[in-house]
Amino acid sequence: MSATQSSSPVRVGFIGLGVMGRGMAGSLLRAGHAVTVFNRNAQAMPPLVEQGAQAADSIAALGASCRVVFLCLSDTAAVEAVLFGEGGLAQALAAGSTVIDTSTISAPATRGFAARLAERGVAMLDSPVSGGQQGAATGSLSCMVGGDAAVFAACLPYLQAIGSRVAHVGGIGAGQVVKACNQVAVTGVMLGVAEAFALARRHDVAPAVVREALLGGAARSMVLEKNALRLIERDFQPGFKAELMRKDLRLALQAGQDRGVFMPGAALIAQLLEGVCSAGEGGLDWSALGKLVETLSGVEEQA
């Protein structure tokens, strides 16, 4: 029986309650879904229980009680461990269940995970997201979804609870490819903004003035609106950590290398993010990329 065929409300599981995961789980609750949560650090669960979620004491217990399970985990290895490790999700899920992975991981690995789950009668969608902590908290993420079209259609109500823009972009793994494209694009824009601000400062023009002027022209972008403001205001509390963006660009570069894609810009930015992380700032928001450009330009940290 598929999730949509059940006569009782479908219980939705959510595993991984970090900055992004707890926001998405909260959005599912606000949309009226019955949600069970699990996190390795149990301290992340009580705030969601207060909002109406049930807390599972293990991954297997969650899997046994849910027909749709979201994952929001740090990397490919973490997803594999949750799915196929001892006491993992794959063994607990009933046939006809669906896993929706919102993590940003390897596309080839995702295809492999989906094939292994299919052997057990479990479907999988890869749905990496964009929009940061605020988007997760407000249910306004952009979801890039790969997988079978019928499975996507059945799961659309859950995806629409976490995202204001939900796009089916192709078969399994396609979501990860599109997310890689997103990260290449936004980091490229951020580097350009950081260089523009450094240039302005060297010529005694305030970056805040530059930003306001550029927002009225062709340079307008979400990066200029939001991330650039972090650089101006010195607000590097992480919406999305630099070390995670470094991981994402590594995945993008590997995907490019696998298909012979020329990506010198992404390679440069990946190295700059290595510098950010090596300087002990990997836990800052990824817009701290701009701080490194300032340092290399000999620019004072001032608005």
Q: Which residues belong to the active site?
A: 179
Q: Which two tokens stand for residue 182?
A: 């997103």
* d(C-alpha 142, C-alpha 260), whole Å: 28
Amino acid at 37: V
Instruction: Output DSSP code: residue 241.
Output: B
225's CB contacts (< 8 A; 6+ apart) are 215
* d(C-alpha 111, C-alpha 167), whole Å: 19
Element (H, E) at 130: strand 129-130
Q: Which two tokens stand for residue 50?
A: 């207060």
Inter-residue contact 37 to 17 (CB < 8 Å):
yes
Three-state DSSP class for residue 162: helix
Q: Which two tokens stand for residue 156?
A: 């659309």
Task: Tell me which residue has tokens 């660009």.
Answer: 249
101's CB contacts (< 8 A; 6+ apart) are 70, 71, 73, 79, 110, 113, 124, 125, 126, 127, 128
26's CB contacts (< 8 A; 6+ apart) are 48, 51, 137
- The total of other beta-carbon atoms located within 10 Å of residue 295's CB is 14
